[in-house]
Structure 1
Amino acid sequence: MAKGLRGLKLKTRMTLILGLIALLQTGFVGVFALNYLSESLEEQVAERALNVAKTIAAMPEIIEAVERGDTGYLQPVSLKLAETTNARFVVIGDRLGIRLAHPTPTRIGKPMHDDEGDFNEPALLEGRPYVRKATGSLGASIRGKAPIFDQKEETVVGIVSVGFMLDTVDTIIARYRTTLWGVIFCAFLFSILIAIWFSNHFKRAIFGLEPEQIGLLFEERNATLESIREGVISINAEGLITTFNQAAVNTLNLPNKSLLLGKPIQEVLPDSHLIEVLEDGEPQFDQEFWLGDLCLITNRLPVQQDGKIIGVVSSFRPKDELDMVSRKLTRIKQYADSLRSQTHEYSNKLHTIAGLIQIGATKEAMNLIGQETANHQALIKLLVAAVPDPILAGCLLGKYNRAHELGLTLSIDPDSHMTDIPPRIPREHLVSIIGNLLDNAFEATLKHHGAGGEISLTMTDLGNDLIFEIEDQGAGIPLTEQERIFEKGVSSKRESGHGIGLHLVYNLLTRIGGYVTIDPADQGGSRFTVYIPKHAPSNESAKTMGESS
């Protein structure tokens, strides 16, 4: 049956089950009520029969007539008494149990007994009234029998038997049974209607899904939560944790999962800000969240149902992982820019050289080849001597070619020196910082000065800091804008997707304890000076340097 029910829709199942339960309950109550009613009616009829019999047995005229054996007096009186009390019969016998009065006159003078062999011994021999249900000459009945004592109440002189037929009781039971079955049927119909209403309400609450679909979605939801690398935690309207995945447990170093479910978020993560989102309903995107020494990038979204906030979901990931992805993308972009600029530049030069050879200007072609070789050899010689680190040198060579492609000149101070880069400074950080600052200088110079502009780079590792100075020929940065230029999304360009590079520079410098200053350049434009300590600064000093920038 259960297997068959699973093939039905939820609404049909609920209707059948609730209807069946209602039918069983009302049926059980009905059967119990009918049995109880039948027993109660029989007890009442038996008590009435016994009371009538005892009353007749105590009547003086009946006692005297029995003592005389006066059948002529007792016969009409018994019929009258039966009619008066609505009894089926009233039978009177002498002390030997011989009938003196009976509804059927032909049975007068015959012994009183029934088909079950009751010869009235309790009343005649013991003088005790009693009730008996038996089948006699008039049919099945409930009989009340009482002894008739003489005037002195010492000797039993006769017996009175008053009977009520069982078919009367059956008629009453049948009438109640019909009524009760009608009530059961109405209750069943009412239960069906309630079941249909409840199933419709329940289906709306679960978005019309079937239980099997909900189970599948639950398994898919668990699999999805556990498959993603981001940590996920959600709370309900009371601020209790309802959902979390293993990535959240591992990232936040939380206790066993069984200890988290149902606990207040304020006890587990007091500074999670989920309660704030629960109260104001404002989503939060890409927010930094510090947990001890761990920096997380978090998103917090309110969960709403029918316009009411019923919970909050938060996803988070260590910022290190995002920075690593950003660095990889930055390096790929830099490599691509470098290759593209070199390809474009050398393609133009090769076409020019080919044209000179074709027109016979071999001398000019040789001079151009020599000039190009000399410029690159001088740059490569400078980078080999001043910047032995291949990652930083490769970045600078690519930016040199990129500037050349844009019609700009990237001048690297020949007195630059950058050989003492400590191992604690990630080369990816250094490349991202310098590369983004140079790209920003290229764009500012092109916008304000146009082709032919110059960007200068000076480097030194003397002292306790690595220092990079980058000057452009842009329009400069107003003092009021210098405080906001490193914020995410802030840019002088109107197109979307800008305002990321300087924000990344600021974040990377903060992580390695460095900072950057902005000053007017000697020939207009801006001078960005980057200071990176060779040794890791303390937290307080790093914080101070970050704020001073």
Structure 2
Amino acid sequence: MRTKWNLSSLWSPRHPRVRSLAGQVLLLQLVVVGVVLLAVAAVSVHQSTVEFRELQGQRMIAVAENVASTPVVRDRLSDPSVERVLAPEVDRAVNLSGATLAEIVTPEGVTAVSSDPTRIGLPAELGGSDVLTGRAWSGDVVVDDRRAIVGHVPILTATGDVLAAVSVSDDYPSTWALLSSAGARLLLYLGIGAGLGLLGSWLLSRRIKTHTRGLEIAEIASLADHREALLHSIREGVVAVNTDGIITLLNDSAQELLDLSGDVVGRHVDDVPLDPGVRRYLLTGEDGRDVVLSTSSRMLALSRRAATSQGHKIGTVTTMRDSTELASMQSQLSSHKSVTDTLRAQTHEFANQLHTISGLTQLGDYDAVTEFVGTLTRRRAEISDAVTQRISDPAVAALLIAKTSLAAETGVSLTLEPDSRLHALDPELATDVITVVGNLIDNAVDVSEGGPHATISIRITDGDGILIEVADSGPGVPESMREEIFSRGVTSKTGVPGGRGIGLALVRLVSAQHGGFASVSDAPGTGGALFTVHVPRS
């Protein structure tokens, strides 16, 4: 039954629906636009303030110097009604310069004349000015709680003494006035920027909503959690590789089947300790074709499919299953079939021999019957003695005797090398040796059958572990296939379907499980293949 996911069920009635992802992005973009506008405005205000301070500071000093150099000001400073006499001069300075305030200050720092009559007699706001020491100064002061830019110029005597000081100040404009002074163009640019920012934010939110299929944050997170849970709980291994050969997904089963440890996601396939056959299949395997590969500890059934998104290939997904037990059962079935074929061949042979004996008996040639039976007995004894004298393990010896008869039935001569020696084995190791020897002989018979000089030679030695060598008179194995030949479904035999090849894969698997090895090279003298397998006893 196929499970259907209802996205609306991901929301629980007990949890209120939060703002949508598109809405959150839109709100974030609006905040960013607002912050940018405030930053631009702050920079504009700062620049306008700096320009106002520099320009107005120089202008205030120029106005103050103009008042200080007026002859009537110098001449009437000592007049008892100086505040009334010089009032027109300070008013004129204010009117002509546009300043906020103009004053004449006594050497004691008291306002003597001012364009604001209420300040006469009050202490002047000099700030950090050193005008009373005879130096002109420009800077910021606070006048009646208002920040202003002021210019101070001293009125000196001929001997350099300070008679008084002229102070001309202008209040700093408001923030809005500073922004306005930056020009209508700046305000226009800010408005256009704000409009474009709002439009871009809205379009981005719509695009995000489209690409997320209308899902919200909680729904996406829930789907991701379900995906991880499903991928890591299934029994089959799953490996995803992108178009650059980077592993993007590896579930727990795949990590166990491939004997990997640590986090390999994000690494290139070539940088991961994989069996060469598996690595080659992940990178260059044929999509849609199931294969079975043998590693050092398992027989794996792999299936590779291309992964696409919106019509574009984004990588491949390979699933794998452990087929070690299945391969073992297939090997056992093959062994049983081999025994059946051997029995069939022997039955056929015995039937022919019985027919011969029956015919001789009917002819009354009993001497010929005796001679014929003796010949058969000696031949059977020679085959058995040739094997049992060198092979002490009864199971392996029985296999070699049966395979010799079966090979002879197909026209192939199977011989055991004279220097072969094998002691008795424990039952478990004997079973594995039988699997190796039986599969190697079956493979050799298949490739040698029908040849002009079909021969197979076997050497089994029991020294530093069990060394098995099987040489045939077949076409041999090309050097480019000598590693691949031990993979399931790969064979060098012409006319054999791709489903064959389980025997050599099992040979490699059995030897690797014991810590040994399996290899193939050219057979000396025959031009065929020489398979060498080493199976340690421990």
TM bracket (short chain): 0.5 to 0.7
Question: Does 2:248 correspond to 1:242?
Answer: yes
Q: 1:318 to 1:276 in 2, by over 3 A?
A: closer
Q: 1:149, CA displacement in angstroms? A: 0.6
Q: 1:212, CA displacement in angstroms? A: 2.9
Alignment partner, residue 86 of structure 1: 98
On the 8 A contact 2:110/2:122 being kept in 1, the answer is: no
- Rounded to whole Å, the distance in 1 between the matches of 2:193 and 2:102 is 44
Q: 1:543 to 1:49 in 2, by over 3 A?
A: farther
Alignment partner, residue 512 of structure 2: none
On the 8 A contact 1:283/1:300 being kept in 2, the answer is: yes
Q: Deviations over 1:67-88 (max 9, x none)?
A: 6789697454444333332223
Q: 1:32 to 1:66 in 2, by over 3 A?
A: same
- Rounded to whole Å, the distance in 2 between the matches of 1:25 and 1:206 is 28
On the 8 A contact 1:299/1:316 being kept in 2, the answer is: yes
- Rounded to whole Å, the distance in 1 between the matches of 2:278 and 2:111 is 101
**One-letter amino acid of the counterpart of residue 170, structure 2:** F
| TM-score, reference length from structure 1 | 0.52
Give the match's secondary structure for 1:222: helix
| TM-score, reference length from structure 2 | 0.53
On the 8 A contact 1:15/1:195 being kept in 2, the answer is: yes
Q: 1:467 to 1:304 in 2, by over 3 A?
A: farther
- Rounded to whole Å, the distance in 1 between the matches of 2:212 and 2:469 is 52
1:464-503 correspondence to structure 2 within 5 Å: 464-465=402-403
1:313-352 correspondence to structure 2 within 5 Å: 313-323=317-327
Alignment partner, residue 226 of structure 2: 220
Given the alignment, which residue of 442, 450, 467 partners 1:514?
442
Alignment partner, residue 156 of structure 2: 149
1:294-443 correspondence to structure 2 within 5 Å: 294-323=298-327
- Rounded to whole Å, the distance in 2 between the matches of 1:249 and 1:120 is 78
Q: 1:145 to 1:317 in 2, by over 3 A?
A: same
- Rounded to whole Å, the distance in 2 between the matches of 1:208 and 1:542 is 67
- Rounded to whole Å, the distance in 1 between the matches of 2:299 and 2:110 is 112
On the 8 A contact 1:97/1:120 being kept in 2, the answer is: no
- Rounded to whole Å, the distance in 1 between the matches of 2:299 and 2:127 is 103
Give the match's secondary structure for 2:244: coil
Q: 1:50 to 1:133 in 2, by over 3 A?
A: farther
Q: 1:321 to 1:169 in 2, by over 3 A?
A: same
Given the alignment, which residue of 288, 291, 298 partners 1:287?
291
Q: 1:461 to 1:133 in 2, by over 3 A?
A: closer
Alignment partner, residue 17 of structure 1: 28
Alignment partner, residue 203 of structure 2: 197
Q: Deviations over 1:92-149 (max 9, x none)?
A: 4665778776547xx49x94426xx65999778544545532129xx98554333211
Q: 1:34 to 1:185 in 2, by over 3 A?
A: same
Equivalent residues, number: 384
Q: 1:62, CA displacement in angstroms? A: 4.0
Q: 1:466 to 1:79 in 2, by over 3 A?
A: same
On the 8 A contact 2:275/2:295 being kept in 1, the answer is: no
Q: 1:8 to 1:539 in 2, by over 3 A?
A: farther
Question: Does 2:143 correspond to 1:134?
Answer: yes
Q: 1:547 to 1:293 in 2, by over 3 A?
A: farther
**One-letter amino acid of the counterpart of residue 514, structure 1:** D
Q: 1:461, CA displacement in angstroms? A: 8.1
Q: Deviations over 1:433-470 (max 9, x none)?
A: xxxxxxxxxxxxxxxxxxxxxxxxxxx9892428679x
Q: 1:201 to 1:317 in 2, by over 3 A?
A: same
Q: 1:265, CA displacement in angstroms? A: 0.8
Given the alignment, which residue of 263, 267, 270 partners 1:263?
267
Q: 1:301, CA displacement in angstroms? A: 1.8
Give the match's secondary structure for 2:290: strand
Give the match's secondary structure for 1:12: helix
Give the match's secondary structure for 1:91: strand
Q: 1:239, CA displacement in angstroms? A: 1.0
Identity %: 20
Q: 1:227, CA displacement in angstroms? A: 2.5
**One-letter amino acid of the counterpart of residue 310, structure 1:** I
Q: 1:15, CA displacement in angstroms? A: 1.1
Greater mean deviation of Cα atoms: 157-166 or 175-184: 175-184
Question: Does 2:52 correspond to 1:52?
Answer: no
- Rounded to whole Å, the distance in 2 between the matches of 1:294 and 1:276 is 16
Q: 1:424 to 1:232 in 2, by over 3 A?
A: farther
Alignment partner, residue 431 of structure 1: none
Alignment partner, residue 113 of structure 1: 122
On the 8 A contact 1:30/1:181 being kept in 2, the answer is: no
* Gapped regions of structure 1 (runs ≥ 5): 331-390, 397-411, 426-459, 472-506, 519-530
On the 8 A contact 2:64/2:153 being kept in 1, the answer is: yes
Q: Deviations over 1:172-210 (max 9, x none)?
A: 236369978876665444333223333343444445443
Q: Deviations over 1:154-185 (max 9, x none)?
A: 2222232223245x556723636997887666
Alignment partner, residue 173 of structure 1: 178
- Rounded to whole Å, the distance in 2 between the matches of 1:10 and 1:202 is 8
- Rounded to whole Å, the distance in 1 between the matches of 2:57 and 2:262 is 71
**One-letter amino acid of the counterpart of residue 266, structure 1:** D
**One-letter amino acid of the counterpart of residue 248, structure 1:** A
Alignment partner, residue 428 of structure 1: none
Q: 1:283, CA displacement in angstroms? A: 0.8
- Rounded to whole Å, the distance in 1 between the matches of 2:92 and 2:159 is 25
Q: 1:261, CA displacement in angstroms? A: 2.2
- Rounded to whole Å, the distance in 2 between the matches of 1:69 and 1:121 is 30
Q: 1:511 to 1:62 in 2, by over 3 A?
A: farther
